[in-house]
Amino acid sequence: MTSFMAIILGFVQGVAEFLPISSSGHLTLFQHFFGMPETDQLFNVLLHFATLLAVCVVYWKDIWEMIVEFFSFFLDLFSNQTYRGHPPEARRMVLLILVGTLPLFLVLPFKKKVETLGSSPIFVSCALLVTGCILFLSDQMAHGHKTVRNATLLDVLLVGLAQGCATIPGLSRSGCTISAGMVRGFDRKFAVRYSFLMSLPAVLGATLLEVLDVMELEGGIPAENIPLYLLGMAVAAVVGYFSIQLVRLLADKGRFGAFAFYCWGAGALFLLLNVMGWTLVSSGT
């Protein structure tokens, strides 16, 4: 892997992780059709971790309040303090995120099989077409009014199921979870906020599992690859920060339909190229 490749893949990850167009799908297709050698799975996971840092920067206030309320909950528990009214919003958000993350444990036994799906450009291209349909339908949803105060555990559990399905390469995590939230009547701003905050434990867990796998199989992270890893992560984090701001703006205006047409176009193009046995490099385009 070269520095140029690390920068390109970092840029693709930063854009596609938050725009509802599937980062894992685009990484696979770019590597295949632009003649890039296949990157190791650890690098892909580290790119996801870098975009998680972008979420932390954008939502640092929410995250800090949730950390404080998480520990305050246990202090209140031991001191027998109870709330007569509603608990603080940040404390309830912690609960909603924990419940929404539970469906990912159903995916863990199939983790390796799901990852192998990403090696098939045809499968990923078809999944992009499905992502386009999900985004198009989400634009037809009426504006909901549920927020952290009145979203139910069933609501977030179903959004969590959407996140579990989105581990399939080519399906957009943000697109699936935001759309699922809208279907359940979430306010558009809350659907975006919850989707991004819910990604924190999922990405942290995936990063930890992959690092442990590398340490076990290879005895450690290859030292010669660390500079390239850091370069790709820096690009992904910076680009991801601006992508989050764009998604927040477009979701509030109900403009996901534009991404639906992109996913349909990209999925159809890459599917056609793969069926014809072409790559963008060899065809000179």
**Six-digit token pair at 173?**
């995590």
The share of the chain scoring above pLDDT 70, in percent, equals: 86
Of 230 and 218, which is predicted with more confidence? 230
Q: How confident is the model at residue 217 (pLDDT cuts 50, 70, 90)?
A: low
Q: Is the pLDDT of residue 115 over 90?
A: no
pLDDT in tens, 235-278: 999 999 998 888 888 776 767 677 889 899 988 988 888 777 76
| pLDDT at residue 282 in the model | 44
- Mean pLDDT (whole number) for 95-120: 85
Q: How confident is the model at residue 80 (pLDDT cuts 50, 70, 90)?
A: low
Q: What's the rounded Cα separation, in Å, for the pair 241 and 181?
A: 22
Q: Is the pLDDT of residue 30 over 50?
A: yes
* Boundaries of every domain in the chain: 3-80+97-275
Instruction: Check: CB of residue 252 under 8 Å from CB of residue 66.
Output: no
Q: Tell me if residue 146 falls in helix, strand or coil.
A: strand
| pLDDT at residue 218 in the model | 60
Helix and strand numbers, DSSP H then E, in the chain: 13, 0
Among 202, 103, 107, CA closest to 154:
103
Q: Tell me if residue 88 falls in helix, strand or coil.
A: coil
| pLDDT at residue 230 in the model | 92
Q: What's the rounded Cα separation, in Å, for the pair 72 and 66?
A: 10
Q: What's the rounded Cα separation, in Å, for the pair 166 and 160?
A: 10
Instruction: Check: CB of residue 250 under 8 Å from CB of residue 256.
Output: yes
Of 279 and 60, which is predicted with more confidence? 60
Of 20-34, 214-228, 263-277, highest mean pLDDT: 263-277
Q: Is the pLDDT of residue 93 over 90?
A: yes
- Mean pLDDT (whole number) for 37-45: 67
Q: Is the pLDDT of residue 121 over 70?
A: yes
| pLDDT at residue 283 in the model | 42
Of 157 and 218, which is predicted with more confidence? 157
- Mean pLDDT (whole number) for 204-230: 74
**Six-digit token pair at 165?**
């399905």
> Letter for the amino acid at 81?
Q
- Mean pLDDT (whole number) for 211-223: 68
Residue with tokens 């659907």: 191
Q: What's the rounded Cα separation, in Å, for the pair 170 and 270?
A: 12
Q: What's the rounded Cα separation, in Å, for the pair 198 and 202?
A: 7
Q: Is the pLDDT of residue 56 over 80?
A: yes
Of 144 and 252, which is predicted with more confidence? 144
Strand partners, 146: 186
Average pLDDT of every residue of the chain: 82
Burial (0-12, 13-18, 19+ Cβ within 10 Å), 172: buried
| pLDDT at residue 264 in the model | 93
